[in-house]
Amino acid sequence: MRDKANFGAASRMRDFLANITARAGVLKGVLPLDRAAAARDALAGVQLASMDIPQVLGYARIAGMPAVTGLYTVFLPLIAFALFGASRHLVVAADSATATIFASRLSTMAPASSAEYASLAAMVALLTAALLLIARIFKLGFLADFLSRTVLVGFLAGVGVQVGIAMLGDMVGVPGHAARSIDQLTLVVRGAAQFNAPTLAISLVVVVAVLGCKRFLPRAPMPLIAVVAGIAASNVYGFAARGIAVLGPVAGGLPPLAMPSVTWQQFLDLLPVAASCFVMIVAQSAAASRVFAERYQESVDTNADLLGIAAANAAAAFSGAFVVNGSPTQTAMADRAGTRSQFAQLVFAVLVVVVLLFFSRYLQYLPHCILASIVLTIAIGLIDLRTLIAMRRESPGEFALAVFTAAAVVLIGVEHGILVAVALSLLRHVRHSYRPHTMILAPGQDGVWVPVPAVPGVQTAPGLIVYRFGADLFYANDHFFAADARRMIAEAPSAVRWFVIDASAITDLDYSASRSVGELCAALKRRGIEVLFARVTPYLRSDMDRHGITPIVETRCIFGTMHEALRAAGIEKPHAHVKDAS
């Protein structure tokens, strides 16, 4: 009886806490959580830490920041997202894409790993947090939809190539670093005579081991094994004395809390960088959270996640770290480890505190080549060859778009590459709307009408054309609509008496398009051609009424179904002649 009473009390307490946190809008990604789920997620958090700690050290290397700041990104930022975010699966931490975005600009403003550089990086995180907070206030989570998957695949592939090139110098022992990928590649090639054989050998072993385990033993924490083994070997055999570069002294302890300080001009220079990070964070975080929410039949609250990531970036800014992102790769790693709530990330953060307090001094022995090799394997993972190959087979145009985006990232830099990616996504959408598919119902086999591409010379029946325009009408495509309709009528095999517009795809009509449509209808009526609108939605009918098209066409010529329109055109039994027309 006592056990049942205890169980009931615990259940009521869980329900009470869940109710309180739901009203406060916090811990959505953690609760509800029972004892069994907490134990499962705690174990998963330990496994995630073993795989992710070496990676965040590598991300700090990409970012041009001291190695310890990689650990800072998985301490307070993780806790902040677990508190304010909604996704139960998203891992918000350092990420190669955002690290590359701001490092490519900051490297021209201050020396990497310097105090000024760290202050600039913290300010980028704070500005990014502000943009994310604004997006949350105005519920702009839908902005993620404007970065197409095609362009995102190409962008990440470009980031992978750029990051891989940036790591080559450390992997072969060639000193120096260039901001642009082409310059960095040139630097490595020209320094071929300076290759350090032991450094190159260690790099090759680490790359082969990590990629091999990823393929055959995906749960094995090979990056962590490589880091621990590298630290031990470096300490025992004195790698630094043998010409193998190591990290050197690493500050331990918890991160100091401070407000980033920059000049007004630096503040203005950092705004575009933060905007680029913002776009990438919104796109990647939304994509990752949606994928795993769908996998486990959970709801998605993109706007709440924006608040959580804003809080995480603010925490990163005040704790001496750099921009954090909802990482698809790390989220996938967490899922493989078995995490099912943000409680696993909280356990991860606790383990990071242990490392910072008791084990950070050992990081000074870690060879640069091992970190660079781990980062290279991360960069390789960003290049989604399987998707690119499928894209090339299914849609060569989209494949070309992805490749162009990747090339832009490599050749002109990540910061400008993300802007190119957004522009290409929007242009691709506008292009489809500007020149949509148009169809005409035409006689098929057995006298059944079927939709065919609208080309001059095709007619539905003597004196009748049923024409379908496959997009909303707006200022950029209204002239195409009017010209295409006139061409269909002018080149019809017989004189057209009835021109039926299938408006099923037209849900919106702007001012410019309404004038073109009104002029077309009036001109056709003067020529004795009756214009009928079929499948008119309430939204389109409202636009037609507001813009004065209804009086021109007349109410009797506007119909909700195709059958009614055809009947008005003299087709008494349209269902016997039309396939897929209703």
Q: Phi/psi at 301 (nearest 5 deg)?
A: -125, 85
Residue at which a domain ends, from 385, 401, 428: 428
Percent of the chain with pLDDT over 90: 33
User: What is the DSSP code (8-state) at residue 319?
Assistant: T
**Does 439 map to a domain?**
yes
Please provide the DSSP assignment of 379-443 as one string: HHHH--HHHHHHHHHH-HHHHHHHHHHHHHHHHH-HHHHHHHHHHHHHHHHHHHHHS--EEEEEE
Point out which residues pair with 183 in neighbouring strands.
Answer: none
* 341 and 490 part of one domain: no
**27 and 167 share one domain:** no
- 92 beta partners: 326
- Burial code (b: 16+ CB inside 10 Å, e: under 16) for 190-206 equals ebeeeebeebeebbebb
The predicted pLDDT at position 18 comes to: 53
HSE toward the beta carbon, residue 177, CA cutoff 13 A: 19
In a domain, 582, yes or no: no
CA distance 13 to 524: 73
Considering only CA atoms, which of 332, 420, 374 is closest in space to residue 154? 420
pLDDT of residue 89: 86
Which residues are registered as beta bridge partners of 326?
92
* Two structure tokens written together for 504: 């099923």
Angstrom CA distances, 258 to 48, 118, 126, 514, stand at: 29, 12, 12, 57
pLDDT tens, residue by residue, 108-144? 899 888 889 999 999 999 999 999 999 999 887 776 6
Q: Do 458 and 413 share a domain, yes or no?
A: no
What pLDDT score was predicted for residue 575? Answer: 43
How far is C-alpha 471 from the geometric centre of its chain's CA atoms?
A: 26
Chosen domain end from 388, 412, 428: 428
pLDDT at residue 5 tops 60: no
CATH number, domain of 510, equals 3.30.750.24
Asked, for residue 200, whether it belongs to a domain, the answer is yes
Q: Which of 77, 142, 47 is nearest to 340 (CA)?
A: 47
Q: Please give the pLDDT value at position 581.
A: 42
Q: How confident is the model at residue 173 (pLDDT cuts 50, 70, 90)?
A: confident
Are residue 206 and residue 244 in the same domain, yes or no? yes
Question: Which two tokens mark 270?
Answer: 């950092």
Residues 451 and 497 in one domain: yes
- Digit-coded pLDDT (tens) for 33-92: 788 888 888 888 887 887 778 778 878 888 889 888 999 999 999 999 999 998 888 889
Q: Say if residue 189 is in the same domain as residue 126.
A: yes
Half-sphere exposure of 13 (CA within 13 A, CB side): 8
Instruction: Enter the DSSP assignment of 365.
Output: G
* Pairing assessment for the beta strands 530-534 and 498-502 based on DSSP bridges: parallel
Per-residue model confidence as pLDDT tens digits over 278-321: 988 887 787 777 767 777 778 778 888 999 999 999 999 999 99
Residue 106 and residue 121 share a domain: yes
Together in a domain, 107 and 6: no
Q: Which of 428, 444, 473 represents a domain boundary (last residue)?
A: 428
What number of other Cβ atoms are within 10 A of residue 354's Cβ? Answer: 10
Predicted confidence band at 576 (pLDDT cuts at 50, 70, 90)? very low
Residue 435 phi, psi (nearest 5): -125, 75
User: pLDDT-based confidence at 582, cuts 50/70/90?
Assistant: very low
Whether 466 maps to a domain, the answer reads yes
Tokens representing residue 246 in the block: 């190591």
Q: What is the pLDDT of residue 574?
A: 46
**Is the domain of 269 the same as that of 304?**
yes
Indicate whether 581 belongs to any domain.
no
Residue pair 365/231 in contact (Cβ under 8 Å)? The answer is yes
Considering the domain architecture, whether residues 93 and 212 belong to the same structural domain is answered as yes
Query: Across all residues in the chain, what is the average pLDDT?
Result: 84
Res. 233: pLDDT tops 60: yes
Kindly report the CA angle at 32 between 27 and 36, in degrees rounded to 5? 125
Q: Are the C-beta atoms of 541 and 557 separated by less than 8 Å? A: no
Using only the alpha carbons of the chain, give its radius of gyration: 30
SS3 state at 509: strand
Maximum average pLDDT range among 66-75, 168-177, 236-245: 66-75
What is d(CA 448, CA 37) in angstroms, rounded to the nearest whole number? 60
Q: What's the CA gap between 418 and 98, in Å, rounded?
A: 10
Question: Residue 298: inside a domain, yes or no?
Answer: yes
Q: What share of the chain is helix, strand, coil (3-state, %, to 5)?
A: 65, 5, 25
Helix, coil or strand: residue 561: coil
Domain that holds residue 9: 1-32
* Domains identified in the chain, total number: 3
For 15, the enclosing helix (H) or strand (E) is helix 2-24
Is 147 within 8 Å of 279 (Cβ atoms)?
yes
Q: How long is the chain?
A: 582
* Domain identity same for 140 and 170: yes
H or E segment and range at residue 53: helix 35-63
| 216 three-class SS | helix
What integer pLDDT is reported at residue 580 of this predicted model? 46
Q: Does residue 391 sit in the same domain as residue 463? A: no
pLDDT in tens, 311-359: 999 999 999 999 999 877 678 778 777 788 889 899 999 999 998 998 8
H, E, C per residue of 93-146: ECCHHHHHHHHHHHCCCCCCCCHHHHHHHHHHHHHHHHHHHHHHHCCCHHHHHH
Inter-residue contact 174 to 187 (CB < 8 Å): yes
Closest CA to 413 of 66, 178, 191: 178
- For the record, the structure tokens of 24 come out as 């406060």
Question: Locate tokens 């050992």: which residue?
Answer: 362
Among the residue ranges 175-184, 260-269, 388-397, the one predicted with the least confidence is: 175-184
Tell me whether residue 289 is in a domain. yes
Contacts of 67 (CB under 8 A, 6+ apart): 57, 60, 61, 247, 250, 363, 366, 371
| Separation CA 358–CA 356 (nearest Å) | 6
Q: Give 446-487 pLDDT, tens digit per residue.
A: 767 888 888 888 888 899 999 999 988 988 899 999 999 999
Using DSSP, state whether 494 is helix, strand or coil.
Answer: coil
- The answer to whether position 63 is within a domain reads yes
